[in-house]
Amino acid sequence: MASNGVNGEIPEDANEHCPGPQSESAGKADACAGCPNQEVCSNAPKDPDPDPDLVSIAERMATVKRKILVLSGKGGVGKSTFSAQLSFALAEADRQVGLLDIDICGPSIPKMLGLEGHDVHQSNLGWSPVYVESNSNLGVMSIGFMLRHPDDAVIWRGPRKNGLIKQFVKDVYWGELDYLVVDAPPGTSDEHISIAHFLKASGIDGAVIVTTPQQVALIDVRKEISFCRKVGIKVLGVVENMSGLKQHLSDLKFSRVSESGSETDVTEWALNLIREKAPELLDTFACSEIFDSSQGGAQKMCLEMGVPFLGKVPMDPQLCRAAEEGRSCFEDKSCSVSALALKGIIEKLIALE
């Protein structure tokens, strides 16, 4: 849909979800309705020659062994936390890892990798990823590095997002990589269509989908699986995140709530009572279901849809703290509950090499 769609480029004034002027559905798709370029696109001859940008992308991706998308049906399920910790774990397993953040409007990866305030630099080979100081095996690229201020909003339509994602996969020089982990925004929007299109020639090894256990989240995960099947991306598996709260009892806070609703902290009293009456409880974990999983959660959904279930990760305040501080949850024993669960999931992904 482009009166100025030279070489298949999607113009600035195109509708959202534009299929592209070289697509067979150009000017005919539902997304084309009302576009100022609709008539031109529907009558334009389709170029039989390969898109030179796609050729360049395939050449750039030739040094990347495996490409994994991390997806989610909804926001707020911990997808980016999983992407960050997956990348940390792969790098700590002596893999060369690139983490590409294509969540254009909500780039949280720089913070989760401890890279806020860094800038993107350019060399004669292309854009250079920003590397994690504690692990030179892990490079990161995100629009977050390009914002003047971290609070700046990115208010872009689909074509501009599409253009930046193309630059990320065409112009970033990753070098030799064992893994390129792509952290995508929630849902099935322009970013997903773009990355699937741009990496089609070089191949995507598969997608990991992150969800929480309740049906409200799983409804959208089913759509995510359907999207993957329609665009030819293998679903490597589903991760059930925030699968119940699991916290060391000694880390809990205790309170009394009066009939009027006022709250009094009684943590010190409660812990002293436990130390006196049942000290062995201090070595246990308190567990609680946060989301309703009575209908079987992600595991049952995977069985119904015929996709692998990779495992459950409990809600762990220590993991949340690691993400806030931009560090690996595997570097010490503070995240023992979640780190063990994540390690089991990541080992399954490594076994697919």
- Half-sphere exposure in the Cβ direction for 346 (13 Å, CA): 23
Q: What is the mean pLDDT of residues 134-151?
A: 91
Among 210-214, 235-239, 281-285, the range scoring the smallest mean pLDDT is 281-285
Reported as type and span, the H/E element at residue 301 is helix 297-305
Residue 280 pLDDT > 80, yes or no? Answer: yes
**Mode of pairing for the β-strands spanning 206-211 and 235-240:** parallel
pTM of the model: 0.83
Average pLDDT of the chain, as a whole number:
90
Q: 138 has which bridge partners? A: 97
pLDDT at 39: 78
Contact 69, 209 (CB under 8 A): no
| Bridge-based pairing state of the strands 64-72 and 177-183 | parallel
Q: Which residue pairs, CB below 8 angstroms and at least 24 apart, start in 330-334? A: 330/85, 330/88, 330/89, 330/92
| Cα 266 to chain centroid, rounded | 39
Question: DSSP 3-state assignment of 298?
Answer: helix
As a whole number of angstroms, the distance between CA 19 and CA 204 comes to: 20
Task: Between 44 and 329, name the one with better pLDDT.
Answer: 329
What local confidence, expressed as pLDDT, does residue 22 receive?
A: 63
Give the confidence band of 32 by pLDDT, cuts at 50, 70, 90.
Answer: confident
Q: What share of the chain is helix, strand, coil (3-state, %, to 5)?
A: 40, 20, 40
Q: State residue 9's pLDDT score.
A: 60
Q: Identify the residue whose tokens are 């994602």.
A: 165
Q: How far is CA 257 from CA 131, 250, 268, 273, 290, in A?
A: 48, 20, 16, 19, 20
pLDDT above 70 for 113: yes
Q: Is the confidence at residue 184, as pLDDT, over 80?
A: yes
User: What is the pLDDT at residue 31?
Assistant: 72
Which of 193, 217, 186 has its CA nearest to residue 106?
A: 186
Annotated binding site: 18, 32, 35, 41, 73-80
β pairing state of 206-211 and 263-265: unpaired
Binding-site residues for ATP sit at 73-80
- Distance of alpha carbon 214 from alpha carbon 292, whole angstroms: 5
| Residue numbers belonging to the annotated binding site for [4Fe-4S] cluster | 18, 32, 35, 41
Whether residue 159 contacts residue 20, with contact meaning beta carbons closer than 8 Å, is answered with no
* Residue of 40, 8, 36, 34 whose CA lies nearest to 21: 8
Query: pLDDT tens, 282-330?
Result: 999 999 998 988 899 999 999 999 999 999 999 999 999 999 999 999 9
